[in-house]
Each structure stands twice: as structure tokens, then as C-alpha cells.
Structure 1
Amino acid sequence: MRLPNVKIENEKGELIQTSSLLDAKTPMIISFWSTTCKPCIRELNAINDQFVDWQDQADFRVIAVSIDDSRSASKAKAMASGFGWSDFTVLYDKNQDLKRAMNVNLVPQVFVVDADGKVVYSHTGYNPGGEAELLKEIIKLKK
């Protein structure tokens, strides 16, 4: 599976194409989350806590995709800011187009996508420590 190209809202409220996330150099962790999903938030906070250390081992980006609808989007923006996810690209999938295109049924769902847009790993759910698996997958992609 490849990263589908759909429109999604960025932090500024602008619609962007998901294809614009690809740069042919840097792999990504794409994490789907919602404001009501406690495991989602725990996983993203765990990744955030280790992000700087992980960057010493591999260059990658984290894309946090909120699946909250337009009524909850402002809460999602406040949460992302409050948790200090400033190293992440936070996107808002208010119409759930990306969620549907990537067959996400439950959150948290996390994908590792290589620099060319190919999905190389995914998992659903979160167990503390499970985020280490994501780093292993990113390191495998080093060229």
C-alpha cells in the first residue's frame, strides 16, 4: 500500500494534498488519533518524549492525524499544542478521507511510510514500550 493522495487540513486550516508530505528523503510515522482516545495520546506523548533521542539514530518525521470532526477540531488543536507536539506535523482529517483511504478502523493506528510513500509497517492499539518498534522500522529504512 502507498500513502493515498487526499486533501487534509494543516495546522493553519489550509487544505493540503497528502502527496505534499513526501520528500523522497525522509520516512514518516503517521499516527491516527482522536481527542477521546487515551491510548492514542499516550503513544504520541511517548514518541514525543523520545523524538530528539531517536533523531540521533535516524532522520524521520512524525505526522499526527486527528480524526476528530469539525466540532472537535479546535479541542484537538488545543491538545496538540498543550502536549507540546511541536516537532510533529499535526493534520486534521475532519471528513475522515485519509482515514478511509488508509482503511483505519480503530485508533490508535500507526503507519511507517518510507520516503517514497510506501507503507512498510502498521499496527493498531498501544502498549507502553510499543513505540520502540516504530524506531526499529525507521532504522531499517536507512539507505
Structure 2
Amino acid sequence: MGLPRIFVLALMLACFDALAAGGAAQPRPGDVPPADLGRTLDGTPVNLADRRGKVVVLTFWASWCGPCRKELPVLGRLQQAVGREHLEVIAVNVKEPRRDLTAVLRANRDLDLTWVHDARGDVSGRYGVEALPNMFVMDRDGTVAYVHRGYSEAMIKSFIDEIIGLLPEEVLESPAPAAATR
């Protein structure tokens, strides 16, 4: 006995809607996300598999996004406090001309993040990003631990608690990197 036609039609319509919206569902906690994130501004490939063993914060942002512009310095301070050996923040600029990205970088020279330019939206499409900022936190095994959409100052404490919970104990007991104490 086959499926009712209305059910088949609804299923086909849902699949068409997913394809029209970019087709990719957002990775969820427990998922292994797409590894290829493109290239840094100097052309170095960025692959999540190469970052296993450290916590990775992957944020999708744009220069016109006010909450994104507030989030980036917070992530920069976190990166500086923990150090790149145990935490890496990758900031993917979505669907903007390179000059807009460059202007933000000039205004934020002190942010030591891994910058990726996703001019065509290929990476953000694979991650199902539809709103900005959109952040994925990966544990040391490379699986998604947390997903955050949007930004507010009220979420900072819980976000930092999430990161602390993912870091190895020895990192929490060691002194902050020299750059963080300046």
C-alpha cells in the first residue's frame, strides 16, 4: 500500500522549499559540520579537520550587521585570553565585497582572528546560514557543541561558560597567555 498522495505532495514541496532556501540544514549539536571553510585572506586553506584538538568558534558575520560588529571584539578578547593553542575563532564574512571586509579589519587591527571571505556565500550556504550573526562552537573532537543565532550582551556569560566547559582542565589552571595580560 502506497503513501497517500497528499503526504507525497507535501514531502516533495518541503524538499523543493529546502532546495530553494539553499538546501543545507544547519549543523546541530552532535553533528560533524562541513570541514572546508575556504581560504584566509592570504590564501591559506581553512579546514576544520586541521583544528581537531582545540575548541573552534566559527562565526558568520557581515560589516552591515551591528550585532556582528559587537560580537567580533568579544570573540577577539576570548581568543586572546585562551590562546590559539587551545581555541581558534574563525570569522567568515558573508556575501560582501572584499573592500567592506578590509574596512572592518583596518578598524579592528587588534583582533587576532582567522578571517575568511565568503564572497559568494558558498560556505554560509553549506552551513544553512540565513541570519547573522550565526555562530557554531565545535568541541575538541570537531563536533558541534553549541549553535547561536543572533547576539546580545546578556548571552556572553553563558557563552563563556560553554567555552570553559569545552577546554581541557590544564588550560583553565594555567596562567593566561602573555598577549592577554597586556
2:153 match: secondary structure: coil
Matched residue type, 2:93? S
Give the TM-score normalised by structure 1: 0.81
State whether residues 37 and 116 of structure 2, in contact with CA within 8 Å, keep that contact through their aligned partners in structure 1: no
Task: Flag the structure with more relative contact order, 1 or 2, with Cα contacts below 8 A and sequence separation at least 6.
Answer: 1
Cα distance in 1 for partners of 2:47, 2:128 equals 15
Tell me how far 1:25 sits from its aligned partner.
Answer: 1.6
- Mark the structure with the bigger radius of gyration: 2
Tell me how far 1:15 sits from its aligned partner.
Answer: 6.2
Identity of aligned residues (%): 24
* Number of the residue aligned with 1:67: 94
User: Relative to structure 1, is the Cα distance of residues 41 and 74 closer, same or farther in structure 2, using a 3 angstrom cutoff?
Assistant: same
Structure 1 unaligned segments of length 5 or more: list them.
none
Question: What is the count of residue pairs matched by the alignment?
Answer: 137
Q: How does 1:1-143 map to 2 (within 5 A)?
A: 1-6=31-36, 8-12=38-42, 14=43, 16-19=45-48, 22-53=50-81, 55=82, 59-69=86-96, 72-143=97-168
Cα distance in 1 for partners of 2:149, 2:118 equals 18
Matched residue type, 1:23? R
Matched residue type, 2:147? S
Cα distance in 2 for partners of 1:7, 1:49 equals 22
Tell me how far 1:94 sits from its aligned partner.
Answer: 1.3
Please provide the CA RMSD for this pair. Answer: 2.3
Give the TM-score normalised by structure 2: 0.66
Tell me how far 1:136 sits from its aligned partner.
Answer: 1.6
State whether residues 35 and 68 of structure 1, in contact with CA within 8 Å, keep that contact through their aligned partners in structure 2: no
